[in-house]
């Protein structure tokens, strides 16, 4: 592929991710929270593949790095915060004291992105990230809202969203090592087991709650591993 044009593919994916984030904010502002949450997840998936595509095509660039950070700030920092805020509003939790917890999300995300851009390149074989990535943090919040919207009957208490926003924000600014998803799915037997268990969990619950449960399992695993390594 022509050197001049191969950069268009990963950057094009990033711009599609940005479009999803902007549309998510517009949907949230219009009260259409389910499509807003789905668009955040679409941006999350695209964010996983723009960097991967850039590496595969040898099309990494400083422009792409800065563009990716700016897009993540909109699509996976601001859009999930707006989605969460509008969901709390729709559930009747309009108290002013909830606002700082919502504002913490993009602030922590901005800190996480700025720190990431200043870190030296990772050593070969090291796939851990320093702190929770803004993409996983934003997806976790979107999944919490979507789980609450799509499961009939009992809804999650409003305070759980405040706690989750606080915890996700703290994890983003922390220095706890979080393994990459590509590392988790790097073994064929592990992939088969995880996909099978995910399928079973969908049958037990539904798609978004199952994904939310597994995302929380990932966070718990990372924290347990960090605690074990600290004690050892």
Amino acid 191: pLDDT = 64
What CATH number does residue 138 fall under? Answer: 1.20.120.1760
Q: Which residues contact 101 (CB under 8 A, 6 or more apart)?
A: 162, 165, 166, 169
The residue range of the domain holding 47 is 8-231
CA distances from 216 to 22, 70, 89, 140 (A): 26, 26, 24, 8
For residue 43, is it within any domain?
yes
Residue 1: inside a domain: no
Q: What total of structural domains would you count in the chain?
A: 1
Q: Tell me what pLDDT residue 117 has.
A: 85
Residue 174 inside a domain? The answer is: yes
pTM: 0.89
pLDDT at 212: 93
pLDDT in tens, the chain (232 residues): 556 677 788 888 999 999 999 999 999 999 999 999 999 999 999 998 887 787 777 777 788 888 999 999 999 999 999 999 999 999 888 889 999 999 999 999 999 999 988 877 666 555 788 999 999 999 999 999 999 998 877 677 889 999 999 999 999 999 999 988 766 666 666 667 666 776 777 666 788 998 999 899 899 989 998 898 888 7
* Domain assignment of residue 2, yes or no: no
Q: Is 10 buried (19+), middle (13-18) or exposed (0-12) by CB count in 10 A?
A: buried
Answer whether residue 3 is part of any domain: no
- Structure tokens that stand for 204 in this block: 């037990």
């Amino acid at each position: 592929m022509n050197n001049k044009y191969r950069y268009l593919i990963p950057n094009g994916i990033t711009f599609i991710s940005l479009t999803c984030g902007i549309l998510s904010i517009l949907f949230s502002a219009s009260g259409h929270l389910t499509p807003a949450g789905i668009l955040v997840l679409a941006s999350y998936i695209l964010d996983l593949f723009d960097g991967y595509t850039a590496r595969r095509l040898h099309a990494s660039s400083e422009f792409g790095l800065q563009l990716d950070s700016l897009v993540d700030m909109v699509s996976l920092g601001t859009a999930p915060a707006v989605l969460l805020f509008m969901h709390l509003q729709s559930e009747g939790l309009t108290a002013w004291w909830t606002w700082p917890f919502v504002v913490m999300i993009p602030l922590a995300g901005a800190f996480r992105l700025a720190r990431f851009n200043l870190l030296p390149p990772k050593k070969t074989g090291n796939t851990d990230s320093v702190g929770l990535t803004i993409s996983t943090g934003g997806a976790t919040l979107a999944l919490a809202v979507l789980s609450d919207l799509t499961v009939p009957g009992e809804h999650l208490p409003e305070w759980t969203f405040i706690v989750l926003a606080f915890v996700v924000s703290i994890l983003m600014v922390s220095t706890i090592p979080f393994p990459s998803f590509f590392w988790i799915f790097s073994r064929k037997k592990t992939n088969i087991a995880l996909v099978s268990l995910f399928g079973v969990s969908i049958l037990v619950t539904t798609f978004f709650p199952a994904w939310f449960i597994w995302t929380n399992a990932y966070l718990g695993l990372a924290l347990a591993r960090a605690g074990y390594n600290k004690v050892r």
